[in-house]
Amino acid sequence: MSTNRLFLIFCSVIATLFFWHYLGEKAILKDNSNSFDKLQCVSYAPYGKDESPFFFEKGMVLKEENIRKDMELLSKYTSCVRTYSTVGQELVPKVAKELGMQVLMGIWIGKEEKQAVAEIATLKELAAQYPEVIKAIIVGNEVLLRGDQTDVQLAKYIKEVKEALPQYPVTYADVWEFWLKYPKIKELTDFVTIHILPYWEDEPKNIHDSIEHVKNVRIEVEKELGTSNILIGETGWPSEGRMREDAAPSKINQAIYIRDFVKLANENNWQYNIIEAIDQPWKRKSEGAVGGFWGIFDKDRADKNVFSGDVSNFPNYLYLAFGSLVLIFGFFIRFKNEQTSTIRLITFSVVNTIFASLFMLQVEQYVVVSRNNLEAIWAILLLGTQLYVYYELLKHIVSKNQYEIISKVAFYFSMIFIFIMTVNIAYNGRYENFEIYGLIILAISFLWSYFGKFDRLKFGNFERLFAIILFINTLVMVYNETTLNIFSNILAVINLVFVIILCVGSLKNSSLNELKKPIIYIVAICIAILLFKHGFIMNRDMDISCKLNGGGFLCSIVGNVWYLLYFNYIGIAAIIASAFALLVDKKPFIITALVLSILASMLTNTFLGAIAFIIVLYAITKDKDKKLLN
């Protein structure tokens, strides 16, 4: 191996080690000498990393030894835990009594009355067994926010508990805005319990503005409700997950928030409860990856150093550095015999170094956010595509034949992945992730390889129409996420790279005039579905009316639609309809498939809807000699 190659390998290794060392050891939160000793109270869900409250229906029984280990750990940091349900969690007050702790005892109020009845019955039994353990009773958690019950029905449950257990203070917990919307609830409770979660606000607050926001909200609620008897029942910050506007989850930000909040609360003599004690992986199913990372301890009960100590966003940086070095050495060895110029060799080294770190960042993200086997398969497919394209670009850089381009098959796979991801984020993005690191590899690679050779791509109407729809969805995504979200902005730039490649590559074989009719159909269907979505499906006033009045024809339709969406039936129907339309190639079937695919995409079956929509686009454009949708 030549001296030049050895020197470049050395430079790549040094740059990679410096990069990961900086992320892991230098870009950290230093220990704060003003850190606190104990929290007033923390939310505690007594589930192991492979357990879930939904498993109670399958006969799951929580083990006392596990709860004891958890609470022994927590007793070092607090003397109080908040629970959200009594059924299945009867051991929590028992262990709390043994450890001299108290419990903010919550009962879960959902949609089913029988569940509330069981919760209240269990509460009475626990109050009789452990009277000194219960600090207060919280009747329902964010019931009004979810729309599970009306304020009238909620009031009945609160009165029932107060009459049954008059010796305990009773409250209700919800996000602060809903206390302002339903101030009469205060008249029924002994104190007010508000949730202030800057990350989850309708207008999210970044870490620098979050504490001031909490302070302002606390003052506003006290002023509006005319009481200072307020418990901040939930506040905290996630350590992992997707960015919302400029509110970024991270281990460092979580520690900053908790430390600064406790300092503020102590200065103002506020009562508070931190969410939460231990990371709960089961929450990721309904809240996205971010839902599983609010704990001050991780799922294995390891300390995140939220209270004190140095905090790094990449405590596993050595493994990531090792993975990067394996890629760097692997590709250097693979192309060690290629004869190329010094400039190309330097370019190869720079690209290899950057791509290796980007690829490992993507691997690390997938390890964190993948929630099930399907998402693991998605990650493997994307990583495999990215690694192949990474390899192909390096091959292109050192190759003597610069006329060669990266496979169009890889490009088609990549653009489909990006389209699905963008649709997910644009229409169901609250819990979706920005998987941008590997996509940067794809965008750079294809633009590099195809630049100046667009005529070789020979794209047509399908690709041009695909580009137009991708561009529109990108605008929707940026509008929803705002330009404050750096991850959304980067994904938008990546999408624009693909849009440019698709448009320029289809100039000779496609006509915008031919695409007018499909675009008109798509826009008209989108407008109709948007009106249906916001007029009926997402209409909160209508939802409340349905609960109060016991339903009706429209309520029945909305309920059935939600049922179909919950089980992904609309998405499945869209896939079947699009495949049938592709085979039959008749206008009525194509229109039906188009409606179903857009309906699925714009409601909550976005993944299946996006796939179905791509199939329909191909069905519309596959016959070059046929006028589209005529």
- Domain CATH for 125: 3.20.20.80
pLDDT at residue 340 in the model: 81
Side-chain half-sphere exposure of 246, counting CA atoms within 13 A? 8
Inside any domain, residue 444: no
Nearest Cα neighbor of 200 from 265, 252, 249, 149 is 249
Residue 122 near residue 86 (C-beta atoms within 8 A) = yes
DSSP structure string for 223-240: HHHT---EEEEEE---SS
Of 257, 280, 312, which residue sits at a domain end?
312
pLDDT at residue 35 in the model: 61
Two tokens, residue 418: 């990006």
Find the angle CA(314)-CA(316)-CA(321) to the nearest 5 degrees.
Answer: 95
> How many other C-beta atoms are found inside a 10 Å radius of the C-beta of residue 18?
12
pLDDT at residue 537 in the model: 84
pLDDT at residue 550 in the model: 65
Residue 550 structural domain: 513-621
Angle, helices 408-428 vs 606-621, to 10°: value is 130
Find the angle CA(626)-CA(627)-CA(630) to the nearest 5 degrees.
Answer: 115
Inside any domain, residue 266: yes
Nearest Cα neighbor of 613 from 522, 536, 544 is 522
Q: How far apart are CA 288 and CA 469, in angstroms?
A: 26
Q: How far apart are CA 446 and CA 433, in angstroms?
A: 23
pLDDT at residue 118 in the model: 95
- DSSP letter at 534 equals I
Of 312, 332, 357, which residue sits at a domain end?
312
Residue 360 near residue 320 (C-beta atoms within 8 A) = yes
Q: How far apart are CA 511 and CA 519, in angstroms?
A: 13
Inside any domain, residue 550: yes
Q: Is 451 helix (H, G, I), strand (E, B) or coil?
A: coil
Give the count of domains, the chain. Answer: 2
pLDDT at residue 473 in the model: 97
Two tokens, residue 381: 């497919």
Inside any domain, residue 595: yes
pLDDT at residue 60 in the model: 84
Task: Using 70 as the pLDDT threshold, list the residues of the chain that sit under it.
Answer: 1, 33-36, 402-403, 548, 550-551, 624-630
Inside any domain, residue 602: yes
Two tokens, residue 20: 């990961």
- Calculated CA dihedral for residues 153, 158, 161, 165, nearest 10 degrees: -160
- DSSP letter at 171 equals E
Inside any domain, residue 20: no
pLDDT at residue 58 in the model: 82
Residue 96 near residue 78 (C-beta atoms within 8 A) = no
Inside any domain, residue 291: yes
pLDDT at residue 544 in the model: 73
pLDDT at residue 349 in the model: 96
Inside any domain, residue 93: yes
Q: Is 202 helix (H, G, I), strand (E, B) or coil?
A: coil
Nearest Cα neighbor of 367 from 289, 301, 285, 288 is 289
Of 257, 281, 312, which residue sits at a domain end?
312
